[in-house]
Chain A
Amino acid sequence: MHHANHFYGHAHILAEYCGLDPEQPPRIDGYVQHGWNVVDGLGLGTPYVPGRPIFVYSERTRRRAWSMGRRQATVIGAPFLYLLALRPEAAEAPAREGTIYYPFHGWEQQKVLGDHQRQVDEILETEAGPVTFCLYWNEYRDDQVRTAYEQYGRVVCHGYRGRQWLDTDRHFLDKQLTELRRHKRVASNRLSSAIFHGVAAGCEPAVYGDPMQLDREDAPTAARIRRDWPELHGKHLDPEAARASALAELGEGFVASPAELRAMLGWTEHFSKATARVPA
């Protein structure tokens, strides 16, 4: 339906979970929330087609979406949880070590403003073990930025999320999961999907440091996030409270069975056979 469904290989993971070909995910009859956000689950500026479901992570997001006029929000849980169901952690996994840090990234059309050096200093001061920096693809490709981080630790990138169904790195989340499972802690200067995914993958979360500003960013939203999720902000958090809060945001407990998910996404035989859909 919308190219955002293929971001981070979400559609591919859901197809694999449903027992379909992950290389060729069928068209999703709606929109999959492509990242954690504090609005209606859709990315800003997504042209919403009325009457089609938005598949959101959590009940909280669904309630918010409803209050914003989105009547078809349906909770399925984060695609990352489906990935976790597909890739259970090996019993003899090597011991976790250090921290993976996600410096808050901009995207193609919004660059991050802030003091990067001070941020790195604070990270190295806080983290006991080795630090891996995970950069967004546009920063990673920028030799200057990448080499700047490489002085302080390993630098990785999970890939390109994709755009208009092209160049999607469908193993983005797989790569992220593998990296997360190598680390004890996951940290960032902003509460974001990466932190939630980290918690789900068994890391201790931390959110600290200069939150930085996006070019033309809505500052009150960032402040609201700090107010609403205090248990996820700080250098050393109450692990149980943080975990419970983060998993709730991903929609733990709401993961659908493959059969139910197929029916929700419009991946059943009924849809492929139907010529016209007559409402009940």
Chain B
Amino acid sequence: MIGGEMPSFTEDRPRAGGALLGFLAERLPADARVLIAGPHDDALIDALAARFPVTCLVRSQPEAIALDARGLRVLCGSLAKLTGDDQYDAVVALDGLGRLCSVEGPQLDWAECLRALHHALHPGGTLLLAVENELGLHRLVDLGSATAARTDSDWSPLGEFGSKPGNADRLAAHLTTEGLTVGWLGAAWPVPEAPTLIATAEALRDGPAGVLSALTASAAARAYAGKEVLSDPRRLAAAAVRDGLGLELAAAWLVVAHREPGPAAAPDLPPVLIGDGPVIELRSGDDGPWTRRVLREVPGRDVSGLNGPLPAGRLLEELLLAACLRHDLPIVRRLLTGWASAQPGAAADNVVVDQDTYAILDPSVPPPTDVIRRFAQTLLGGGYAHPWPAATDLPTLTAILHGAAGLPSPDEQVPAVDTLPASRREQEEQIRALRRQLADAESRAQRFERELVKKDKELRKARMQIATFSGSVGFRVAKLGMGVARKARNRLRKGLS
């Protein structure tokens, strides 16, 4: 207990963790004494504790007790109580600096927290820090606002009103001013607490933008599968990376910085790291093409297919969507037939196209069923304009796409599986589409009714003519007489009453 501990509080938001953050933390210099500042995932703490002498700083007392019970050295309390007496070779703050102060005592802002951690480092020590981007993808698609206080830990929810640096350049500049040397900086996608793709500024600037954007979109798809969001995170992630905003719209920035004097060698980290269990690196080859290598495997996941050259090109799904939006049917058909002949089993969001080469982006993803129907669902669900605007239902559009791809008619029995992010904007688009269809149906119904009235009239007339001209002459005369007599009688009756 160092003071400021919170006896009845446990952190109510996910702790920093995941394969990639763990991998980064494990790259700290061997035998370093490590301070893990703030709430981190148990697996990450255990992995670090297996390699280094570890001390944990947490504000929640119940959590401190649990950590202590696992045999770890724990400082329980507020960062403000940390004195510079106890110094470490490395400080790991992958949860950011927002959960280091407790409700008791001074409420340090971002810069003050950084200074406190800086002072906890030995000269030459390493700081591994995560800084959440308040304008990152995860914020942009979030249904909730970061400034709304909702849970027990939100006693001062600052969101974008906080004082932390708002972009990677300012972050690096701040660290330099603070006396720390930035050795490495990476953009973390798609969520800050457990990123599954980390890329350096250089990789985002000079790397294969098409494939990196496809990989970022896949990472977003996995992180947000089935979750309620404002808008589709896959498109936002892909567009950001493709158009050079990969660093600016990342969920967080990760830095490895050193207290002066810095160590001789900065950690050798690959330009791009990917993984939500297994860890994969991407590096640029000496003669141009990028390669992919599995750094860490996990049982039960076959990722051996990932070793080798990284396929080039752009995501098929995006090319198809773009061609559909342009109403460029020849291109849409060429992509569909190319896909159907080269990679018929892979979903459109797992195929990259380079000229006429269709390659699977991630061979470790199990092939889904009915990939064309899934794409039809993407078109309709996303409210995308496409060349067949009258095909407003899934079976019709699927049948058309099958035809355009040169595939036999689809099997009607396959139920559509919905594992896509549930985006509000798309739902809004669907409601609009349904309203339009309803209005169209309404006006069609009215038109048919008018037609029916017209046809009924014609039918009555025709029947009358048939009746008039059928039968013997005597019968027809009698019938005509009866008709006239009936009319006369009716007229008389009306006149009398």
- Does A pair with B? yes
Q: Is the CB of A50 within 8 A of B377?
A: no
Interface string of A238-267 (1 = CB under 8 A from B): 000000000000000110111111111000
Q: Is the CB of B387 within 8 A of A50?
A: no
Contacts of B66 in A (CB 8 A): none
Please give the distance in Å from B324's CB to the nearest CB on chain A.
12
Q: Does B437 contact A (CB under 8 A)?
A: yes
Please give the distance in Å from B468's CB to the nearest CB on chain A.
25
Residues A277 and B393 in contact in the complex (CB < 8 Å), given A51-B444, A62-B327, A257-B403: yes
- Expressed in whole angstroms, the Cα–Cα distance for A280 and B381 within the complex equals 8
Contacts of B377 in A (CB 8 A): 280
Please give the distance in Å from A164's CB to the nearest CB on chain B.
13
Q: Is the CB of B390 within 8 A of A260?
A: no
Partner of B390, one of A30, A62, A262, A268: A30
Partner of A261, one of B394, B395, B396, B403: B403
Please give the distance in Å from B153's CB to the nearest CB on chain A.
41
Residue in chain B with minimal CB distance to A277: B393
- Expressed in whole angstroms, the Cα–Cα distance for A277 and B396 within the complex equals 9
Please give the distance in Å from B276's CB to the nearest CB on chain A.
31
Partner of A279, one of B389, B408, B409, B433: B433
What's the count of A-B pairs with C-beta under 8 Å? 96
- Expressed in whole angstroms, the Cα–Cα distance for A172 and B394 within the complex equals 37
Please give the distance in Å from B74's CB to the nearest CB on chain A.
54
Q: Does A59 contact B (CB under 8 A)?
A: yes
Q: Does B491 contact A (CB under 8 A)?
A: no
Interface residues of A toward B: which range?
35 or more
Q: Looking at chain A's contact residues, is the secondary structure mostly helix, strand, loop, or mixed? A: loop
Please give the distance in Å from A236's CB to the nearest CB on chain B.
31
Contacts of A62 in B (CB 8 A): 327
- Expressed in whole angstroms, the Cα–Cα distance for A51 and B443 within the complex equals 9
Q: Is the CB of A264 within 8 A of B400?
A: yes
Please give the distance in Å from A40's CB to the nearest CB on chain B.
13
Contacts of B393 in A (CB 8 A): 277-280
Residue in chain B with minimal CB distance to A47: B447
Contacts of A264 in B (CB 8 A): 388, 391, 400, 403
Q: Does B399 contact A (CB under 8 A)?
A: yes
Q: Does B109 contact A (CB under 8 A)?
A: no
Contacts of B138 in A (CB 8 A): none
Residues A270 and B412 in contact in the complex (CB < 8 Å), given A51-B441, A253-B330, A263-B403: yes
Q: Is the CB of B394 within 8 A of A59?
A: no
Residue in chain A with minimal CB distance to B331: A253
Contacts of A278 in B (CB 8 A): 393
Contacts of A268 in B (CB 8 A): 399, 409
Contacts of B395 in A (CB 8 A): 270, 274
Q: Does A205 contact B (CB under 8 A)?
A: no
Q: Does A111 contact B (CB under 8 A)?
A: no
Q: Does B329 contact A (CB under 8 A)?
A: yes
Q: Is the CB of A259 within 8 A of B409?
A: yes
- Expressed in whole angstroms, the Cα–Cα distance for A258 and B404 within the complex equals 9
Partner of B403, one of A49, A52, A259: A259
- Expressed in whole angstroms, the Cα–Cα distance for A47 and B396 within the complex equals 25
Q: Does B406 contact A (CB under 8 A)?
A: yes
Please give the distance in Å from A141's CB to the nearest CB on chain B.
29
Partner of B388, one of A51, A74, A262, A277: A74
Q: Which residues of chain B (374-408) have a CB below 8 Å from chain A?
A: 377, 380-381, 387-397, 399-400, 402-404, 406, 408
- Expressed in whole angstroms, the Cα–Cα distance for A79 and B408 within the complex equals 23
Please give the distance in Å from B371's CB to the nearest CB on chain A.
17
- Expressed in whole angstroms, the Cα–Cα distance for A270 and B406 within the complex equals 18
Q: Does A75 contact B (CB under 8 A)?
A: yes
Q: Does B434 contact A (CB under 8 A)?
A: yes
Interface string of B16-60 (1 = CB under 8 A from A): 000000000000000000000000000000000000000000000
Please give the distance in Å from B423's CB to the nearest CB on chain A.
15
Interface string of B299-328 (1 = CB under 8 A from A): 000000000000000000000000000010
Q: Is the CB of A50 within 8 A of B394?
A: no
Residue in chain A with minimal CB distance to B416: A280
Q: Is the CB of A75 within 8 A of B329?
A: yes
Residue in chain B with minimal CB distance to A76: B329
Q: Does A195 contact B (CB under 8 A)?
A: no
Contacts of A260 in B (CB 8 A): 333, 400, 403-404
Q: Is the CB of B443 within 8 A of A50?
A: yes
Residue in chain B with minimal CB distance to A50: B440
| A47, A52, A259, A277 pick with most chain B CB within 10 angstroms | A259
Q: Does A71 contact B (CB under 8 A)?
A: yes
Contacts of A49 in B (CB 8 A): 443-444, 447
- Expressed in whole angstroms, the Cα–Cα distance for A107 and B52 within the complex equals 92
- Expressed in whole angstroms, the Cα–Cα distance for A53 and B390 within the complex equals 5
Please give the distance in Å from B184's CB to the nearest CB on chain A.
47
Q: Is the CB of A51 within 8 A of B390?
A: yes
Q: Which residues of chain B (314-364) have a CB below 8 Å from chain A?
A: 327, 329-330, 333
Q: Is the CB of A74 within 8 A of B387?
A: yes
Q: Is the CB of A50 within 8 A of B439?
A: yes
Contacts of B412 in A (CB 8 A): 270
Interface string of A43-85 (1 = CB under 8 A from B): 0000101111100000100110000000111110000000000
Please give the distance in Å from B415's CB to the nearest CB on chain A.
13
Q: Is the CB of B389 within 8 A of A71?
A: yes
Contacts of B392 in A (CB 8 A): 279-280
- Expressed in whole angstroms, the Cα–Cα distance for A29 and B388 within the complex equals 13
Partner of A254, one of B330, B388, B390, B437: B330
Contacts of A108 in B (CB 8 A): none
Please give the distance in Å from B334's CB to the nearest CB on chain A.
10
Q: Does A142 contact B (CB under 8 A)?
A: no
- Expressed in whole angstroms, the Cα–Cα distance for A4 and B406 within the complex equals 30
Please give the distance in Å from A69's CB to the nearest CB on chain B.
12
Contacts of A270 in B (CB 8 A): 395-396, 399, 409, 412
Contacts of A261 in B (CB 8 A): 403
Contacts of B447 in A (CB 8 A): 47, 49
- Expressed in whole angstroms, the Cα–Cα distance for A270 and B327 within the complex equals 25
24 residue pairs A–B, Cβ–Cβ below 8 Å: A29-B390, A49-B447, A51-B390, A51-B436, A51-B437, A52-B390, A52-B444, A59-B327, A59-B329, A74-B387, A74-B389, A75-B327, A75-B329, A75-B387, A254-B330, A257-B333, A257-B403, A260-B400, A261-B403, A263-B391, A263-B399, A269-B409, A279-B392, A280-B392
**A contacts, CB < 8 Å to B:** 29-30, 47, 49-53, 59, 62-63, 71-75, 253-254, 256-264, 268-270, 274, 277-280
Given contacts A71-B436, A256-B404, 18 further A-B contacts (CB under 8 A): A29-B390, A50-B443, A51-B390, A51-B440, A52-B390, A59-B329, A62-B327, A71-B389, A74-B388, A253-B330, A259-B402, A259-B403, A259-B406, A259-B409, A260-B400, A261-B403, A263-B402, A270-B396
Q: Give the 9 A-B CB pairs with smallest separation, nearest first.
A: A51-B440, A260-B403, A53-B390, A259-B403, A263-B399, A50-B440, A280-B394, A72-B390, A263-B400
